[in-house]
Chains A and B, each alone.
Chain A
Amino acid sequence: MSIKVRYFASLKEKVGRSEDTLTYSNPMTVYDVWHYANVGTEIPENILAAVNMDYASLDFVIVDGDEVAFFPPVTGG
């Protein structure tokens, strides 16, 4: 099973890349995805997450083909 992980804004600069494609075999939450993609890096305290372009909590369970995104608080308008 595989998922795409995307990063935006200051978080993209922090992790040094805009996206990952990950393969996995066991069920994972959004929180697990962060640690799988960023081994040894604690998840930022104020991070926001989305799955398939809807906001998702860190305990949301992902499925094959999902697009997971991590980003800082939004500042548009």
Chain B
Amino acid sequence: MAIQIKTDIFDPFQEIQAYQNTKLVDVMTIGASNIFIGTMRDFNEDTAVKSMTLEYYPSMTEKQIEKIILAAQQQWQLIDCLVIHRVGTVLPNEPIVVVAVWSSHRGDAYDANRFIMETLKSKAPFWKKELLDDNQERWVIKNTNGYTSV
């Protein structure tokens, strides 16, 4: 398991590849790898957004993400998990979060990844402040519901 908080832009695919190359290269039981990448969009609630700044609670954030992964490991058969989350100022199209899950079977990989991501959204202490087109700042008050299309 690895949890990484990054203050600078990163390439999700390179990070995942590097993790696989160092931690999982000799693991022959992997049959399913499920990857979620969340990126910043340039709008929120029908308003254009120029950038956002992500604040977090150092140590508590990592501790809570670890608890989420441990809870997932209790529920599904997982080989490994990697969670990367960006903090600081983020621009549209830049990655914010990566959840990568490796398992022997796709059902565990799919379901555990969704669980980790949705739980992170409500439990990991991160907060977003948006910079709008008119240079006004706005705190994001709540996350969208991940289980509906709206």
Bound-state Cα–Cα, A50 to B121, Å: 17
Q: Which residue of B lies closest to A9 (CB)?
A: B127
Does chain A have a CB within 8 A of B74? no
- By beta carbon, the residue of chain A nearest B126 is A76
Partner pick for A72 among B38, B123, B139, CB 8 A cutoff:
B139
Q: Sort chain B's interface into a size bin.
A: 20 to 34
Interface residues of B in 63-117 (CB under 8 A from A): 63-64, 85, 96-97, 117
Instruction: Name B's interface SS.
Output: mixed
A5 at the interface (CB under 8 A from B): no
* Contact residues on A (Cβ < 8 Å of other chain), bracket: 10 to 19
User: Which partner residue on chain A sits nearest B124 by CB separation?
Assistant: A76
> By the criterion CB–CB under 8 Å, are B55 and A77 in contact?
no
Confirm or deny: A74 has a beta carbon within 8 angstroms of a beta carbon on chain B: yes
The answer to whether A71 touches B140, judged by C-beta atoms less than 8 angstroms apart, is no
Given contacts A50-B60, A76-B126, 11 further A-B contacts (CB under 8 A): A9-B139, A53-B63, A54-B60, A73-B141, A74-B122, A74-B124, A75-B143, A76-B96, A76-B125, A76-B127, A77-B126
* B residues whose Cβ falls under 8 Å from a Cβ of A: 38, 54-57, 59-60, 63-64, 85, 96-97, 117, 120-129, 139-143
